[in-house]
Amino acid sequence: MGDAVAQQIQQLREQLQKASYAYYVLDQPFMEDEVYDRLYRQLQDLETQHPDLVTPDSPTQRVGERPASQFNSVRHNIPLYSLENAFGIEEYRAWQEKWQRLAPEVGEAAAVAELKIDGSAIALTYENGILIQGLTRGDGVTGEEITQNLKTIRSIPLRLRTDRPPSRVEVRGEAFLPLGEFERINQQREANDEALFANPRNAAAGTLRQLDSRIVADRRLDFFAYTLIIPEAAEPGDLSRPDTQAESLETLQMLGFKVNPDRALCQTADEVAAFYDRWSTARHDLPYLTDGVVVKLNDFTLQRQLGFTQKFPRWAIALKYPAEEVPTLVKAVSVQVGRTGAVTPVAELDAVQLAGTTVSRATLHNSDRIQELDLHIGDTVVVRKAGEIIPEVVRVLPELRPADVMPFRMPTHCPECGETLVKPEDEAVTRCINASCPAIVRGALIHWARRDALDINGIGSKWVEQWVDQGLVRSVADLYGLSIEQLMQLDRMGEKLATKIVDAIAASKQQPWSRVLYGLGIRHVGTVNAKVLTQQFTSVDALKAAKIEDIEAVYGIGPEIAQSVYEWLRNPANWHLVEQLRAAGLQLEGSESATQPAAEELPLAGKTFVITGTLPSLSRNEAKALIEQAGGKVTGSVSSKTSYLVAGEDAGSKLTKAEKLGIPQLSEADLQALLKTDD
């Protein structure tokens, strides 16, 4: 019986490992998500019944059961050197001449050009094919041991794909956050009134140092491998040690690692220059950030001959792209009031082209940043895209400042309601604390109607603005008193549309308690935290009755979230809103499982989409949410398994590949029509 169970467990692991490799590394899924989930639960149940059969490479071990208390510092077996930088081809040629003086007999040697991923360098150690340790780069000599977090990255194999693995292998690569995930996380943080990540690199680094591996798993990091080290003392198993970097990358791919396909074996410096020039513009079409090209001499014998300086390998160099920054003029500074009352200053600019898009506005973050910049209206400023995503003012050029301009000062009163603004000593953010402020009410309504909150179709900013300005709605509870007749009094609102909106509002009463909690807009409470809280506290009354330490004791809920929830529910105005929602018939208790359709019933189930270019009205995240809500799957690259390519303006290499493979193409309008047709 024991042997039969062990064999069943091993078969399940192999099936799941193959499916995971096909999905996360090859981007060629062959197993439906529902089938994977069923097999995973089956494995989980068997391992629970037989804990002695659990192994470190089991798919169930990707996410730790409890947070780490700290990270230990561990010395690298081989120092993890940084690379010398070159800016432009002339500096690259100078580097080439330098190493050629040390090996004059070689001449011009072949080199592998690889895209330089903007993430965090990682060192992985495998013993007998099993991942046993993962370290950050640290200072290059010592790194932090973050194995539990790295196991959550699906493109990192827990077991090497070979029957006779080397007795010891070290693999190095870059953990990074794809742009789509970066946008998703920042949207979620903005909704929760949390500080936004400045760029994907910082987000990846911060994620890897999370003590709770479940948070790491939720952020969906990815990984590209680029270095394979089989120590001389190690038994190589079925492998022969690669002699070149090109062979090393092929071997890594064979072992189950994701290796960047955008690389080239270059025979001359001119070929390196061509690769560098091509990706200087093509990189903007990638689903991740790259800030340059890494060039490594291909021959390992030559690498060993050249060796290292005190800081860098002599046989590799990072050929960086210059940061894309442009000067422009500040015409004005406006301030925006968010749903939590946070006041954000925004520079209104003379429009400029930046990283492939037209930029006419840039964030100034907060009053501290404005003071640091010493910003005057009429200043010439340098603008860049933070992480190539969010336009921001980097610096002021005071030497170009006109004589008669005045420094900008943050307003003392809210531009929306006129109430006095407040800046807490421990915060950088200036706030309006008037709960009746039209901007706060508008933000609360739009948040309430979001797809991941109450999902009320038809409530957009245009209608919300009219409702608030005309006094029809002063809180989310007022939505449930709106009548068709009231709405028909609004400009351009006919009976058909008014009926549709009232029906959508009424339907939202069936949304589960977790969505209502998220929709309330309590600071720091996102969709994940809302689900965790409602699983523990199955009604709003139970949550209100809980002590702050009871809330904080829920796994995944920290003291900041607990304090925010506790105080919000004890505010009389907030509790009055809860009672109004209760009277309106909203779900303030119970489970959400009964409202979720089966996956196979969703209209786009089994269909795979890729999104590229700029869509007219939807962001990529919004388009992705629509597709996933209808049961479809969105991937980052085009393959023969892709059902549709959704293409907007400036679609690049993905469109070319889709045309070669004969993949059907959809515009945004086509996608909307497909969703409506399949509804």
105 is in an annotated binding site: no
33 is in an annotated binding site: yes
36 is in an annotated binding site: yes
436 is in an annotated binding site: no
Q: Are 335 and 352 in contact (CB under 8 A)?
A: no
Residues 6+ apart with CB under 8 A from 636: 27, 178, 180, 287, 610
- The one-character DSSP state at 174 is E
37 is in an annotated binding site: yes
Print the SS3 string covering 583-649.
Answer: HHCCCCECCCHHHCCCHHHCCCCCCEEEEECECCCCCHHHHHHHHHHCCCEEECCCCCCCCEEEECE
Q: Are 215 and 146 in contact (CB under 8 A)?
A: no
The active-site residue, picked from 116, 531, 624, 633, is 116
Q: What 3-state class would DSSP assign to 580?
A: helix
34 is in an annotated binding site: yes
Distance in Å from the first CA to the final CA of the chain: 49
137 is in an annotated binding site: yes
567 is in an annotated binding site: no
266 is in an annotated binding site: no
- The one-character DSSP state at 521 is T
Q: Are 79 and 233 in contact (CB under 8 A)?
A: no
Comparing CA positions, the residue from 330, 333, 321 lying closest to residue 397 is 330
DSSP for 38-52 reads HHHHHHHHHHHH-GG
678 is in an annotated binding site: no
Comparing CA positions, the residue from 113, 219, 125 lying closest to residue 176 is 219
Could you give the CA distance from residue 622 to residue 645 in angstroms, rounded to a whole number?
15
Can 385 be counted among the known catalytic residues?
Answer: no
DSSP for 257-321 reads ----S-EEEESSHHHHHHHHHHHHHHGGGSSS-EEEEEEEESBHHHHHHH-B-SSSBTTEEEEEP
Q: Are 635 and 27 in contact (CB under 8 A)?
A: yes
Could you give the CA distance from residue 401 to residue 228 in angstroms, rounded to a whole number?
54
Phi, psi at 178, each rounded to 5°: -60, 150
Could you give the CA distance from residue 43 to residue 17 in angstroms, rounded to a whole number?
12
437 is in an annotated binding site: yes
151 is in an annotated binding site: no
Comparing CA positions, the residue from 673, 598, 645 lying closest to residue 32 is 598
Q: What 3-state class would DSSP assign to 578?
A: helix
Could you give the CA distance from residue 666 to residue 644 in angstroms, rounded to a whole number?
7
Could you give the CA distance from residue 405 to residue 537 in angstroms, rounded to a whole number?
56
- Give the residue ranges of the annotated binding site for NAD(+): 33-37, 82-83, 114, 137, 174, 296, 320
- Give the residue ranges of the annotated binding site for Zn(2+): 414, 417, 437
- Give the residue ranges of the annotated binding site: 33-37, 82-83, 114, 137, 174, 296, 320, 414, 417, 437
Catalytically annotated residues: 116
